[in-house]
Structure 1
Amino acid sequence: MDLAIDRAAQLGYADQLVRQLRAAIACGRLQPGDALPSVRATAVKLGIAPMTVSSAYQALVESGQAVRHRGRPLVVAPTAHRLSLEERMALLEPALREVARHAREAGLLPTAVLAALRRRLQ
Structure 2
Amino acid sequence: MKPWTRPGFCPTSKGVAVHDHWAPYWRYTGCEHVLCNAHHLRELNYSDELTGHLWPRLLRESLLQANEAVAQAKEQGLTHLPRDQILAYPHEIMQGSQRRTLPVSSSGSVVRCHR
Query: Is TM more than 0.5 here?
Result: no
Instruction: Identify the structure with bigger relative contact order (alpha carbons < 8 Å, sequence gap 6+).
Output: 1
TM-score, normalising length: structure 2 = 0.31
| Larger proportion of helix | 1
| Structure with larger Rg | 2
